[in-house]
Amino acid sequence: MKKLLKIIKIITISIIGIIAAVFLYLYVDSKLFIGFKDNDNIDYLTKQHVPAGDSINGKLFDDAFYGSKVFLMGEIHGYADNQKLDKAMLLFLHKNAGVKYYIAEMDSTTANKFNAFLGSNPKNEAILHEAVSDIRKRIPQQSSRELFEKWMAIHDYNSQQPDSLKITVIGIDKGFDDKDATITRDSAMMLNFAHAVAERHLENEKFYGFFGFFHVLQNTIAPGKHPFAEKLKAAGIRTTSFVSYTLDSDMYLPKNPQFPTPADEKVDWVNADGPLMLVKGIQDLKALTQPHSITLFRIDGAQSPYAKSQHLMKVKARMFGENFMPVEGAVTTDYFQYVFLLRNSGALTKLP
C-alpha cells in the first residue's frame, strides 16, 4: 500500500510539474512573441494617435486619405466598441468624404432588409430584428443588441438626409446557402462588388465597409489566401484599411458546439496580448493609451517604422482561429494604414 501511495504521489507531482512547465513555456513564448516596448515605434506613434469613440477625429487624415475610393474597417468579431466605431466611421465618411454606400459582410437578401428598414417611416423594427437575426447565420458573434441599436441610430441620421445623400447598404458576401467551393468568399465579394458598381452605375462613388479582420488586409498572408482588400488594390481601386485590436476586453462567444462557452457567453481570452491571441508590438500602442479608451493610430505617415517592419501585422492564434503572418518581404503598411486600439471594451450582448 505504501508503495502504491508513493507511485501515486510521484505521478501527481509529475503531472503538476508538466502542467507548470507548459504554462511557463506559454507565458515566456507569449512575452517573446509580443515583444517589449520599442522606443522608435513609440516616438513615431506619439504624434500619430488621437482619441476616438462615438465620433472620429480627422486630424490624422490627409488629402491622400480622402483620395481613396474604398475605406474598410476590419474587426475581431464579438466586441461591443467595434459597433460604436463602425457607426462613427460611417457617419464621419458620409459627412467628410461623401460616402453614401455601405458595403457589408452579408448577402444581398440581408442587405435588402437593412435598406427596407432604413427607408421605413415610422421605423419598422420588425424588419430590423429579422435582418439582425439573419446575421447570426454567417457571423453569430455579430448578431447582437448593439448591432440592432447601431442601425436604429443610423436610421435616425439617415432620415434627416435628402434623398440624394441617403445611405444605402450593399451586401457583397456569398449567400449562406451557397456551397460553391470553386470560388472563395473573398473572390465572391470582389465579383459582387464589381457587379453592384456596374449595375448601379456607381463608378464615381466612394464606399465604406465593415468586415472581419482578414477581409480588409491589402496583401496575401499565405498562398491561396487573398483577402477582399488585396483584390480591390489589384484592380487598381484605391483602398484604405483600418484594423481593430483589443486589450482587457470581453468577447461575446455565443453557445456553439465547437468551443466551451461560459453561461454568460462572454470570454476575455482573445485580446491582443493573449492568452489565445498575440499581436507583435501591441505594447507600443498600450504605452500610449489609458484603460477604458478607444484610440486611433496612423501607421503609414512620413518616416513610419511600420513601413520597415512587420509589427502589428504578425498575429499568432492559439487553440482556435488562425495566424496572420506577413509573407516574406512584406511590411505592415502593405496590409493596412490605421489601427484602432480598444481597451476594456464590453462584449456584445444577445439580441432579445
Q: Where are the domains of the chain?
A: 1-34, 39-343
- Note the pLDDT tens digit of each residue in 242-268: 999 999 999 999 887 666 778 888 999
User: Position 153: which residue type?
Assistant: A
* Confidence check: pLDDT of 67 > 60: yes
Quick one: what percent of the chain has pLDDT higher than 70? 88
Cβ(318)–Cβ(277) below 8 Å: yes
Q: What is the mean pLDDT of the chain?
A: 90
Poorest-pLDDT segment among 50-59, 179-188, 209-218, 236-245: 179-188
What per-residue confidence (pLDDT) applies to 21? Answer: 43
CA–CA distances in Å: residue 210 to residues 74, 178, 242, 243, 299: 6, 21, 10, 10, 20
Confidence of residue 40 (pLDDT cuts 50, 70, 90): very high
What per-residue confidence (pLDDT) applies to 125? Answer: 97
For 4, how many CA atoms within 13 A lie in the half-sphere containing its CB? 1
What per-residue confidence (pLDDT) applies to 277? Answer: 87
Poorest-pLDDT segment among 6-15, 204-213, 323-332: 6-15
User: What is the pLDDT averaged over residues 132-150?
Assistant: 94
User: What is the pLDDT averaged over residues 229-250?
Assistant: 98
* Confidence check: pLDDT of 10 > 80: no
State phi, psi for 347 to the nearest 5 degrees. -85, 155
Cβ(145)–Cβ(347) below 8 Å: no
Alpha carbon 134 to chain centroid, angstroms: 19
What per-residue confidence (pLDDT) applies to 43? Answer: 97
* Residue with the larger pLDDT of the pair 13 and 236: 236
Count Cβ neighbours within 10 Å for each residue of 32-67 and write b for 16 or more, e otherwise: eebbeebeebeebbeebbeebbeebebebbeeebee
CATH of 39-343 among 3.30.2220, 3.30.230, 1.10.10, 3.40.50? 3.40.50
Give the Cβ contact number of residue 142 at 10 Å. 22
User: What is the pLDDT averaged over residues 191-199?
Assistant: 97
Cell 480627422 appears where?
A: 58
Please provide the DSSP assignment of 69-84 as one string: SEEEEEE-TTBHHHHH
Confidence of residue 23 (pLDDT cuts 50, 70, 90): very low
CA–CA distances in Å: residue 270 to residues 26, 260, 292: 15, 14, 17
Cβ(111)–Cβ(104) below 8 Å: yes
What per-residue confidence (pLDDT) applies to 22? Answer: 44
* Residue with the larger pLDDT of the pair 92 and 30: 92
User: What is the pLDDT averaged over residues 221-226?
Assistant: 86
- Residue 260, C-beta contacts closer than 8 angstroms, at least 6 positions apart: none
* Confidence check: pLDDT of 3 > 70: no
What per-residue confidence (pLDDT) applies to 33? Answer: 62
User: What is the pLDDT averaged over residues 322-345?
Assistant: 93
Nearest to 196 by CA among 89, 103, 73: 103
